[in-house]
Structure 1
Amino acid sequence: MLVVETIARIRREHFIKGKTIKEIARDLKVSRNTVRKVLRSGETSFEYERQVQPRPKLGRWAVELDGLLAANAAKSAREQLTLIRIFEELRGRGYDGGYDAVRRYARRWSKERGQSTAAAYVPLSFAPGEAYQFDWSHEVVLLSGTTVVVKVAHVRLCHSRMLFARAYPRETQEMVFDAHDRAFALFKGTCTRGIYDNMKTAVETIFVGKGRLYNRRFLQMCSHYLVDPVACTPASGWEKGQVENQVGLVRERFFTPRLRFKNLDELNAWLLDKCITYAKAHRHPELVDQTIWDVFEVERPRLVPYAGRFDGFHAVTASVSKTCLVRFDNNKYSVAASAVGRPVEVQAYADRIVIRQDGRIVAEHQL
Structure 2
Amino acid sequence: MLVVETVAKIRRAYFVQHKPIKQICRELKLSRKVVRKVIRSEATAFRYTRSVQPAPKLGPWHDELDRMLTANTGKPARERLTLTRIFEALRGLGYEGGYDAVRRYAKTWKRQQASVTASAFVPLAFAPGEAYQFDWSHEIVLIAGVTTTVKVAHVRLCHSRMLFVRAYPRESQEMVFDAHDRVFAFFRGTCQRGIYDNMKTAVETIFVGRERAYNRRFLQMCSHYLVEPVACTPASGWEKGQVENQVGLVRERLFTPRVRVRSYNELNALLLDGVVAYAKTHPHPEQRDLTIWQAFEAERGALVPYAGRFDGFHAVPAAVSSTCLVRFDNNKYSVMASAIGRPVEVRAYAERIEIRQDGRVVAEHPRAFGRGQTVFDPWHYVPVLARKPGALRNGAPFKDWVLPAALERIRRKLAGSADGHRQMVEILTAVLGDGLSAVEAACAEALREGVHSADVVLNILARQREPPAPAPLLTPESLRLRHEPVADCARYDSLRRAP
Q: Taking structure 1 as the reference length, what is the TM-score of the superposition? A: 0.69
1:164 Cα shift? 0.2
Q: Which residue of structure 2 lines up, in the alignment, with residue 340 of structure 1? A: 340
Aligned to 1:157: 157
Residue identity matched to 2:172: T
Report the counterpart of residue 136 of structure 1 in structure 2: 136
Match of 2:189 in 1: 189
Per the alignment, in what secondary structure is the counterpart of residue 151 of structure 2? strand
Structure 1 SS opposite 2:341: coil
Matches within 5 A, 1:19-168: 118=119, 121-168=121-168
Aligned to 1:212: 212
Deviation at 1:48?
5.8
| Counterpart-to-counterpart distance in 2, 1:338 and 1:133 | 46
Aligned twin of 2:270: 270
- Quick one: distance in 1 between partners of 2:144 and 2:160? 36
- Three-state SS of the structure 1 residue aligned to 2:220 is helix
| 2:363 equivalent in structure 1 | 363
Deviation of the 1:230 alpha carbon: 0.3
How many residues are treated as equivalent by the alignment?
266
For 2:294 and 2:53, the matched residues in 1 are separated by: 55
SS at match of 1:177: helix
Match of 2:9 in 1: none
User: C-alpha root-mean-square deviation of aligned residues, in Å?
Assistant: 2.6
Trace 1:237-316 onto structure 2 (pairs within 5 A).
237-316=237-316
2:327 paired with 1:327 = yes
1:118 deviates by 4.5
Could you say what secondary structure the match of 2:125 adopts?
coil
Identical columns (%): 75
CA distance in 2, matches of 1:177, 1:313: 8
Structure 1: which 5+ residue stretches go unaligned? 1-40, 50-106
Alpha-carbon separation, structure 1, partners of 2:302 and 2:129 = 5
SS at match of 1:147: strand
Per the TM alignment, residue 42 of structure 1 is displaced from its structure 2 partner at its CA by: 10
Q: Alignment partner of 2:128: what SS?
A: coil
CA drift of 1:199 comes to: 0.5
Match of 1:318 in 2: 318
- Deviation of 1:319 after TM superposition, in Å, equals 1.0
Offset, 1:363: 0.3
AA at the equivalent of 1:183: V
Cα distance, 1:309 vs. partner? 0.5
Instruction: Call closer, same or farther: CA 1:214–1:281 in 2, change over 3 Å.
Output: same
Q: TM-score, normalised by structure 2?
A: 0.51
Higher RCO structure (Cα 8 Å, ≥6 apart) = 1
Aligned equivalents of 1:316 and 1:205: distance in 2? 21
Partner of 1:236: 236
Output the CA distance in 1 between the equivalents of 2:327 and 2:196. Answer: 32
Q: What is the rounded CA distance, in whole Å, between the counterparts of 1:153 and 1:47 in structure 2? A: 54
CA 1:185/1:42 → structure 2, altered by over 3 Å: closer, same or farther?
Answer: farther
2:233 and 2:306 mapped to 1: Cα distance? 29
The amino acid that maps onto 1:148 is: T
CA distance, structure 2, for counterparts of residue 341 and residue 123 of structure 1:
61
TM-aligned CA distance change 1:123 to 1:114, over 3 Å: farther
Aligned residue for 2:160, secondary structure, equals coil
Q: After TM superposition, which residue ranges in structure 1, 4 or more long, deviate above 4 angstroms?
A: 45-49
When residues 48 and 286 of structure 1 are mapped into structure 2, their CA distance, relative to the original with a 3 A threshold, is farther
Change (3 A) 1:215 1:287: same
Per the alignment, in what secondary structure is the counterpart of residue 229 of structure 1?
strand
Larger radius of gyration: 2
CA distance in 2, matches of 1:46, 1:137: 48
3-state DSSP of counterpart to 1:151? strand
Distance 2:217 2:123 in 1: 33
Q: C-alpha deviations, 1:254-302, integer Å up to 9, x for none?
A: 0000000000000101110111110000000000111000100110000
Higher helix share: 2
1:318 is matched by which residue type in structure 2?
Answer: A
Aligned partners of 2:242, 2:314: CA distance in 1, in Å? Answer: 29
Q: Deviations over 1:296-326 (max 9, x none)?
A: 0110000000000100000011111111111
Letter in 1 for 2:278: Y
1:360 alignment partner AA: R
Q: Does the residue aligned with 1:201 lie in a helix, a strand or coil?
A: coil
**Secondary structure at 2:135's aligned position in 1?**
strand
Post-superposition offset of 1:122: 1.8
User: 1:207, 1:327 → 2: CA distance?
Assistant: 36
Mapped partners of 1:47, 1:278: distance in 2:
55
Structure 2 SS opposite 1:284 = coil
Deviation string, structure 1 residues 40-76 (Cα, Å, up to 9, x no partner): x999x99869xxxxxxxxxxxxxxxxxxxxxxxxxxx
- Cα-to-partner distance string for 1:222-273 (whole Å, 9 max, x where unaligned): 0000000000011000000000000000000100000000000001011101
In structure 2, relative to structure 1, the CA distance for the partners of 1:46 and 1:225 (3 Å cut) is farther
User: Aligned letter for 2:233?
Assistant: T
CA distance in 2, matches of 1:126, 1:213: 26
Segments of 5+ residues of structure 2 without an aligned counterpart are: 1-46, 55-108, 368-499
Q: CA offsets per residue over residues 123-168 of structure 1, 9 Å max, x none?
A: 1110000000000000000011110000000000000000000000
Q: 1:28 matched to which residue of 2?
A: none
